[in-house]
């Protein structure tokens, strides 16, 4: 028997329709207050479903999804890893933190090549997001790299800092850049020259994903590599100037800038330099890595491509080997649910719009690109809008729903999974009316999908990867501040069975999490779950 074989579930009766997993991205369960966009939205179907029999709450943050502590919010990447992986894997933040603390990150060939460049007179450039959101990066990882530079005698370091405002407060940039500039100044002794060289808001500088808008990467390239951008004498002065000019300025959309002195931009990259991207999350690190690594990149005109040694803190795409060099070995994801289902001959269909397409494919499949078995799987990407999502909070939910309804009616797929990105992507904007519309759009899409599923005699499993829309703002001393980050709230797990061939009931697992979903899907499809998967949330009566 193959390692990937699935045993039939005893007593299971086959049924005609598919099992459809709906991931309501960013739709958590929060307190029933005005700040909760899910609670405040008009969602008659979701309200009814939550009163059903096969309903529970899942933990979607912290240690339940492989993050270092329960203080860490979940995110879509680790959420989909957990949903498709069936057990807890140590995730990027934890891996990187441990490797930096133990020194393992500096023991390999990559760091030695960096030191080779700096010993020959090259500058080390450190690019990454300056925050403690712990979703894409953590400022402590940057500080660990700087400390190692001091220990290893690196003389010249330039930090190219991306501004968060999404996984942390929407106007919190100075809380991170002011201590950073002070620290760099303190380290600039004994011949060392450490400075911030450039920066910009994460949504318009450097951190594009899924080839949605390469002009974002181009703006980062101009600022970080070419030293082209609005000039300021320091990062803090740049940030404060933008705030003064636009009191409504949100950090994540802040224009790029460069730091200059009397001789010009202080951080222009040159032949012989080394570059490390210290963001650990892969989706928004791949395109900038390609810009550094690919000699024949055609997505934008780089104008100049210096002879640099480039490395990521991690490898962001193991199949495509992006980047070629990295400091910390990536987590090993094997035997994903997708691999098991393909081995069992189950036909499947995965769909999302561009913003979350990689989540229902790459991240769901254990950080692996492409199909597992093209003869059994169909992956569909619906191109996302290019305007800010608060202006079109319905996003591409209708298009996705059209295709899912057709896939259900076509009866060619036994397992269908889809991501409705509205609750998360619109939740990140902090615009209350748009967040409510986004959640209502998800509810409408669900109603259409369930009508089709009832007609086909299938089963719906409805959940989320993390919270976001469930907290639109916080109130401190009577002053409201937009909450644009993910929450640490639980997410729903709803089973809606339209075939009646099998009678399931919920198990009594204490504090179930997202990793229990894969085994649950196995049971709904008529298989026992793999022995080392976190157990199913259902039992067949």
Catalytic residues: 76
Owner of token pair 């390239």: 221
Phi, psi of 156 (to 5 degrees): -135, 115
**Distance from C-alpha of 312 to C-alpha of 314, rounded to nearest angstrom:** 5
What single string gives the DSSP state of each residue in 45-107?
HHHHHTTSSSEEEEB-SGGGGT-SSTTSPP-HHHHHHHHHHSS----HHHHHHHHHHHTGGGS
Q: Please, what sign has the CA dihedral across residues 199, 200, 204, 209?
A: positive
What's the DSSP call for residue 14?
A: -
What's the DSSP call for residue 516?
A: G
**Distance from C-alpha of 260 to C-alpha of 403, rounded to nearest angstrom:** 52
What's the DSSP call for residue 232?
A: E
Does residue 334 sit in helix, strand or coil? coil
Owner of token pair 């209350």: 432
**Strands 124-129 and 274-277: what pairing?**
parallel
H/E run at residue 264: strand 264-265
Instruction: Show Cβ contacts of residue 508 under 8 Å, excluding neighbours closer than 6 positions.
Output: none
Tell me if 118 sits within 8 A of 124, measured CB to CB. Answer: yes
Expressed in percent and rounded to 5, the helix, strand and coil fractions of the chain are 35, 20, 45
Q: What per-residue string of b and e applies to 245-258 under the rule 16 or more CB within 10 Å gives b?
A: eeeebbbbbbbbbb
**Strands 538-540 and 504-506: what pairing?**
antiparallel
Owner of token pair 């005109």: 301
Token code pair at residue 223: 């600022």
Does residue 478 sit in helix, strand or coil? coil
């Amino acid at each position: 028997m193959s390692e990937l074989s699935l045993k039939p579930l005893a007593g299971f009766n086959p049924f005609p329709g598919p099992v459809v997993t709906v991931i309501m991205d960013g739709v958590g369960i929060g307190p029933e207050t005005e700040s909760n966009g899910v609670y405040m939205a008009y969602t008659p179907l979701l309200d009814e479903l939550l009163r059903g029999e096969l309903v529970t709450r899942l933990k979607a943050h912290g240690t339940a999804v492989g993050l270092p502590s329960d203080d860490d919010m979940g995110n879509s990447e680790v959420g989909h890893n957990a949903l498709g992986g069936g057990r807890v894997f140590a995730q990027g933040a934890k891996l990187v933190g441990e490797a930096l603390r133990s020194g393992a990150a500096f023991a390999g060939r990559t760091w030695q090549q960096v030191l080779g460049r700096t010993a020959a007179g090259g500058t080390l450039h450190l690019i990454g997001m300056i925050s403690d959101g712990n979703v894409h990066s953590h400022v402590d990882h940057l500080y660990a790299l700087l400390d190692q530079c001091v220990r290893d005698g690196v003389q010249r370091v330039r930090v190219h800092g991306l501004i968060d405002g999404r996984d942390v407060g929407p106007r919190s940039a100075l809380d991170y850049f002011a201590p950073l500039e002070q620290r760099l100044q303190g380290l600039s002794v004994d011949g060392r020259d450490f400075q911030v060289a450039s920066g910009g808001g994460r949504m318009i500088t450097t951190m594009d994903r899924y080839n949605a808008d390469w002009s974002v990467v181009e703006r980062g390239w101009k600022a970080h590599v070419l030293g082209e951008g609005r000039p300021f004498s320091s990062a803090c002065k740049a940030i404060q100037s933008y705030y003064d000019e636009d009191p409504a300025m949100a950090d994540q959309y802040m224009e790029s800038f460069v730091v200059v002195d009397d001789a010009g931009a202080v951080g222009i990259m040159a032949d012989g330099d080394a570059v490390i991207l210290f963001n650990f999350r892969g989706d928004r690190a791949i395109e900038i890595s390609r810009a550094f690594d690919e000699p024949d990149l055609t997505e934008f005109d780089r104008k100049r491509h210096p002879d640099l040694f480039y490395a990521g803190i991690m490898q962001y795409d193991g199949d495509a080997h992006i980047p070629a060099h990295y400091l910390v070995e990536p987590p090993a994801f094997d035997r994903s649910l997708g691999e098991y289902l393909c081995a069992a001959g189950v036909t499947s269909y995965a769909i999302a719009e561009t913003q979350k397409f990689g989540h229902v494919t790459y991240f769901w499949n254990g950080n692996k690109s492409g199909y597992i078995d093209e003869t059994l799987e169909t992956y569909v990407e619906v191109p996302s809008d290019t305007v800010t999502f608060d202006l079109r909070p319905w996003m591409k939910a209708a298009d996705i729903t059209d295709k899912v309804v057709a896939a259900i009616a076509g009866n060619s797929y036994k397992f269908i999974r889809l991501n409705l990105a509205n609750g998360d992507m619109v939740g990140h904007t902090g615009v209350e009316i748009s967040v409510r519309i986004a959640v209502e759009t998800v509810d409408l899409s669900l109603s259409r999908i369930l009508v089709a599923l009832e007609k086909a005699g299938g089963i719906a499993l409805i959940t989320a990867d993390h919270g976001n829309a469930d907290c639109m703002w916080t109130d401190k001393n009577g002053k409201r501040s937009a909450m644009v980050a993910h929450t640490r709230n639980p997410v729903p797990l709803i089973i809606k069975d339209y075939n009646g061939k099998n009678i399931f009931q919920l198990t009594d697992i204490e504090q179930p999490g997202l990793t229990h979903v894969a085994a649950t899907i196995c049971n709904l499809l008529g298989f026992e779950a793999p022995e080392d998967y976190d157990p199913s949330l259902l039992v067949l009566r």
